[in-house]
Structures are given as structure tokens and as C-alpha cells.
Amino acid sequence: MLTPGQKGLLAAAALIFTLIWFAQLGGRALYDPDEGRYAEIPREMLSGGDWVIPHLDGLAYLEKPPLQYWMTALAYEAFGQSEGSARLFTGVCGYLSLVLVFFTGSRLWGFAAGLRAAMLTAASTLFVLLGHQLTLDMALNFFLLACLACFVEAQLRRDSPRAQRAWMLGCWCAAALAVLTKGLIGVLIPATTLAVYTIWQRDSRALRLNAGWGSALFAAIALPWFILAAHANAEFLKFFFVREHFQRFLTPIEHRSEPWWFFIAVLAGGILPWLPQALGALGRGWRASAPRGRFDAGRLLWIWSVFVLVFFSFSDSKLIPYILPAVPTLALLCAGAGALRCRPLAAGVLLSAAAGAGALAYAGGAWSSGGGHALWVQLEPVLPWTGVLLAAAAIGAATLLRRGHAPAALAVQCTGWFLAAATILVGAQRAEALYSSRELGLALEAAAPASAALFSVQCYGQSLPYYAGRTLLLVDYRDEFDLGLRQDPAQGIATLAEFASRWRALSDGFAVMPMATRDRLAGEGLPMHEVAHSHDRVLVSR
């Protein structure tokens, strides 16, 4: 039992954490490409009225389901269009993921374990950064975690068939929402985990899934959009399932190939302060902690974590956020491993000290030569704080650990890493000139009258139309717009020569292009006047 003082301290810590978490959602520009893309699609939903077929720059964009687009559009309606409202759904999903981790850990192993699991998750730099970046991955993580949490609760209530059925319906509902967020991965991870677990543990009672009502609920939630999208766009089913699932996974069609160990390195770096604990939990977690035929939560979590790591490692398309669903389950696995072990915690302290030293060294100018110098110039005022926080966390945790206060040492270390991640988000605000089209977009919005023609020439800054508040005509650029341009060729200009001809005929027009393209066209005598520029692109007027 907690004393009143401990309850008050925890309540204050939770309040401060909440304020810091949500305060980090706004105030910095949307980064290209993902944040700009996932902010612009909901803006076009609101302005164009098509809530079935997502559009990006006025073109059909069928790569992902629409749930997050819908939620972001509703956030725009409720709170106005801003960076904070664009990231709000992601932030809420990240915050609620921590709540689910705490709830699940508490139900399985008690309050202290739940708190420990939540602290470990919040100390993951990967988790914190993706909880404040506008992508689909944190929403997917939340719904997958909700599916897992409902399943675990259903297993804990096997003696109450009615309660078990109710929790299993929650599991089906969460899986459907995961599918509406990012496709088939929303059912693949839970279904494969369950299949492997059931065979390995011989726990046939885990298959009491309430499949009749559950599948009906799943279909009622997930299927309508797929049916409407297939009816509205003849290429949807082939593009979405064949290209965006099977070809993306099995072939290097997206040009995102990485070595097989890529996600091992990403996960290790993303959970660095508690990596030693995770390695220990993975090394022990495959062993049974319950008799065959009975529910074994540790084994279930181990299978989930390992499957996510192995599955994405086999993919020919690798991006850092894909590994996110393994982080909360690993934290739960660590929390369920029993009492805190001093050796892994001490190793985490050393890693914290090394990370702090590395941040301070980088802040001092190390590794800032060549292409990284511009980034270092932007981050240099912030990085010392990152290093100091990590070093302070290491010193504080080491002191407490030496005095035999392992839980307090863990809390100090996790707090330091969470705050250090917050400084990275502040640094991201300073570095927006390198990664965002906000300045060009705002300059375009201010300079271009509603009647002016707008062009994006041989480039596309994903956040540009969001900040400009208007779509642009693509010139000599296809990339992810290939499907949309094939279906609506009039929304693009195929060659620079055709663009030059149309540009000369205009009385008023604006174009964004790489500086090299501007120099080439100016050398050919094309009339243009610079309005604004970024580090690599320029906005010109007719």
C-alpha cells in the first residue's frame, strides 16, 4: 500500500509528465515528408469533402487507410488548424499507450510492476519521439496494445465467461481500428502471436475468442471503408493490398532496403537505458512461467516482441517506426521479470553516462564536419542540456543504486531520459529550416493571390501545401503520386519544356523548385523573380 505522501508524489509526477507530454506537440514546424503528408491529407478532406478516398495535393492517395486522417480532420474542426492539432491524435495515442502499459502491468504483476513498465516505456527515446511526430505508427501501436491488453484481461477473467466475452469483443474492436489505421498488420501481429502462443503453451482456452460476435463486430468497423473505397476507385484493391502490402514487404519497390540487423540496432538505441534489462528479459522470457495449458503472460509478451522484431527484419522495406510495437511489450516483459536486478540497472547507468558524454561531445563540435555541420549549428544550443540531463540521470541513479534504492534509481534514470528526449523535440524546432517547408509555404500563402497558378517543379515539399493552404500543380515529378497522376493526368505537367511554355503564357504564377532547376530555367531565359528561398529550394513568381 502507498502512503498518502507517496500517492501525492505520484500524482504530482503524473501531472507534470502530462503537461510536458502534451506541451511538446505544438510549437515546431511539420517535418517533411511524413508530418507534412499526414497533416495535408486531413486538410484536403475538410476543404474538398471527400472522406472516403484520401487525397494528397489534389490526387488520390491510397497507400494507407483513413482512420488517422479522419481523427486529425476532426481535431482541425475542434481546435483549428495548427501543428499541435495536427499532432494531437498521435500524442493522445502515445499517452494512452502508457496508460495501457500501466494498466496491463498492474493487472498481471501488481501496481509496482505496472508503474515500472510505464516508466521504462516513457524512458524509450524511440517511443517519446514517435509519440510527438505525426506518423501513423503511434496510433497503430496504441490499437495493437489495446488489442493485447483486452486479450490479457480476458484471460485473467476465465472464471467469468460473460466478462471474458466482453473483453474479447474489445480485442476484436481494437484489431479492427488497427486495420483502419495501417492495414493488415493490424491483425497479423495479434493473430500470429496468438497462434504461436497457443501451440507452444498448449493453452487451448486462449482460443475462446468469441469469434462469432467478434468477427461480426470487426467486419462492422473495418469493412465499410474498404467497400466504399473499392466502389469509388477501381484500382484501390489491387494497389492497396498487392502493392502496399505484399510488394512493399517482399520487394525493394520503395527503395528502403536495410541490412537484416537494422531493427536490432534501432530497438537497442531506442530503449538504450534499459537495454540490459530487455536483453535479460528476452533471454529468460521464452521459458515457461506457468504450467502447460494455463495462461502464461510472460510467454505471450515474449512471442509478441520477438515476432515484431523478426517479421520486420525480413521485410525489404525498413523504416525506423516499424519496430515501435515491440517497445511496450518489452517493457512489460521487463516489469514481469521479478525484482529489479542491480547488475542490469548498473549497466543501464553506464549506458546513460556514455550517452550523456556523447551528446556533450557532439555539442562541443565533434562529428559536425561535412554535411552534418548545418544540423550541428542548429542543435548546438540545445544539445548541452541533453547531455547534462543524461549525465545527471546516470549520477543520480548510480548514487541511489549504491545506497540500495533500486526502484528510486530506476525512476531517476527514466526521468532523465524522458526529459532528454524532450530536449531533442526542442532541438527539432530549431532545425526546422533543414527539414520543413513552413517558411516557403507561408511565403507562398502571403504572396500568391487566389487566382494565381501554383507549381511544384521537380520537387515536392510535403508540408508546402499545408502551410500554403492550397494544392500545387506537379511538374516533372511523380514518386508517390504515380497512381493519382495516372488516374488524373491533368493534375500534372510531364516535362520542364511544357512547364516553361505554360509559364511564359501566364500573367501571374508562382513556383517552388530546386535552386539548380531555377538556375537552368533562368539560363534558358524563363522570366522569374525570387520571392523566398530555403536552404535548397526557391520560391519564384512570374
SS in 3 state form for 79-97? HCCCHHHHHHHHHHHHHHH
Same domain flag for 359 and 311: no
What count of Cα atoms within 13 Å lies in the side-chain half-sphere of residue 70? Answer: 12
Question: Is residue 72 a contact partner of residue 78, using CB atoms and an 8 Å limit?
Answer: no
Q: Which of 516, 538, 350, 344 is nearest to 439 (CA)?
A: 538
User: Does 432 lie in the same domain as 451?
Assistant: no
For 539, the enclosing helix (H) or strand (E) is: strand 537-541
The predicted structure's pLDDT at residue 419: 97
Q: Of 316, 338, 360, which residue sits at a domain end?
A: 338
The residues, ordered by sequence, that sit 6+ positions from 454 with a Cβ below 8 Å of its Cβ are 444, 448, 468, 470, 471, 472, 473, 509, 510, 511
Q: Do the beta carbons of residue 359 and residue 386 sit within 8 Å?
A: yes
Identity of the amino acid at 305: S
| Total domains in the fold of the chain | 3
From 416, 436, 456, the end of a domain falls on: 436
Q: What is the pLDDT of residue 372?
A: 58
Residues 497 and 511 in one domain: yes
> What would the grid cell of residue 78 be?
475542434
Assess if residue 23 is contained within a domain: no
CA distances 181 to 73, 436, 531, Å, are 14, 25, 39
Whether 421 is in a domain gets the answer: yes
Sheet of strand 509-514: strand arrangement: 492-493, 473-475, 453-457, 509-514, 537-541, 529-533
Q: Which residue in this structure is represented by grid cell 482456452?
A: 205
Closest CA to 136 of 87, 68, 86, 194: 68
Q: Is residue 479 part of a domain?
A: yes
Q: Are strands 537-541 and 453-457 parallel, antiparallel or unpaired?
A: unpaired
pTM of the model: 0.95
Q: Give 85's contacts (C-beta < 8 A, 6+ positions apart).
A: 26, 72, 75, 76, 78, 79
Q: Does residue 36 sit within a domain?
A: no
Do 251 and 78 form a contact (C-beta atoms < 8 A)? no
- Coil, helix or strand for 183? coil
**Whole domain around residue 383: which residue ranges?**
346-436
Same domain as 328, residue 351:
no
Residues pairing with 492 in the sheet = 474
State the pLDDT at residue 367: 57
The C-alpha atoms of residue 55 and residue 243 are separated, in whole angstroms, by: 18
Please indicate, yes or no, if residue 367 is contained in any of the structural domains: yes
Angle at 134 between CA 385 and CA 241, to 5 degrees: 140
Question: For residue 33, is the peptide bond before it cis, meaning its omega torsion is within 30 degrees of 0?
Answer: yes
Q: Which residue has the cell 526542442?
A: 426
Give the residue among 39, 18, 43 at the shortest CA–CA distance from 30: 39
122 and 238 inside one domain: yes
Q: Which three cell numbers stand for residue 132?
A: 510527438
Considering the domain architecture, whether residues 416 and 451 belong to the same structural domain is answered as: no
CB crowding 51-60: b at 16 or more within 10 Å, else e: eebbbbbbbb
- 456 in the same domain as 370: no
Q: Residues 375, 303: one domain?
A: no
Cβ atoms of 122 and 128 closer than 8 Å? yes
In a domain, 44, yes or no: no
Domain end marker among 338, 360, 389: 338
> How far is the C-alpha of 41 from the C-alpha of 410, rounded, in Å?
41
Counting every residue written for the chain, the total comes to 542
Encode the chain (542 residues) as per-residue pLDDT tens digits.
Answer: 778 888 899 999 999 999 999 999 998 999 999 999 999 999 999 998 799 999 999 999 999 999 999 999 999 999 999 999 999 999 999 999 999 999 999 999 999 999 999 999 999 999 999 999 999 999 999 999 999 999 999 999 999 999 999 999 999 999 999 999 999 999 999 999 999 999 999 999 999 999 999 999 999 999 999 999 999 999 999 999 998 888 888 888 877 889 999 999 999 999 999 999 999 999 988 887 888 999 999 999 999 999 999 999 999 889 999 999 999 999 999 999 776 788 999 999 999 999 999 888 877 765 555 555 566 666 777 888 999 999 999 999 999 999 999 999 999 999 999 999 999 999 888 888 888 999 999 999 999 999 999 999 999 999 999 999 999 999 999 999 999 999 999 999 999 999 999 999 998 999 999 999 999 999 999 999 999 999 889 999 99
Per-residue pLDDT, 189? 98
